[in-house]
Amino acid sequence: MIASGPALLLDENLSPRLVVELAVDYPGTQHVDSVGLHGLPDREVWEYARDHGFVLASKDNDFRQLSFLLGAPPKVVWLRIGNAPTRAVLALLRTKNDQITAFASAEETALLPLLP
């Protein structure tokens, strides 16, 4: 059985449909659209994730750069999957659940790049 992972905040470049699909694997996951962050600067999304205890999941290189600049929190899962369809993103997040869960609880890390 796969352990429940941390609550993710899904960036704009990920489908809002993933929230429902990931409800069991990552309870409490939200999409930026559902929390009123659509179209806002990356720094505001970053601060929201930090202030609300989310792990930020994105394909956006800007969040990787913020992670290097500011460190955690929030922790960033950087999905290096290109323009893959939503089903590929879903599969990646599900198959890497244990790795993401361990990353979320590790104090010394701020960025987790994930490849398919």
pLDDT tens for the chain, 116 residues long, are 455 889 999 999 999 999 999 999 999 999 999 999 999 999 999 999 999 999 999 998 999 999 999 999 999 999 999 889 999 999 999 999 999 999 999 988 999 999 98
The answer to whether residue 3 is domain-embedded is: no
Domain residues for the domain of 16 are 8-114
pLDDT of residue 4: 82
Give me the pLDDT at residue 1, please: 44
- Is residue 88 in some structural domain? yes
**Domain-located, residue 1:** no
**Long-range contacts of the stretch 29-32 (C-beta < 8 A, 24+):** 30/54
Residue 56 lies in a domain: yes
Exposure string over 62-91, b if 16+ CB within 10 A, otherwise e: ebbebbeeeebbbbbbbbebeeeeeeebbe
Please give the tally of structural domains in the chain.
1
Within a domain: residue 29? Answer: yes
pTM for this entry: 0.94
pLDDT at 107: 87
pLDDT of 2 reads: 52
Does any domain span residue 49? yes
Evaluate whether residue 2 is within a structural domain.
no
Enumerate the H helices of 13-60 as residue ranges. 18-21, 42-52
| Token duo for residue 76 | 């960033």
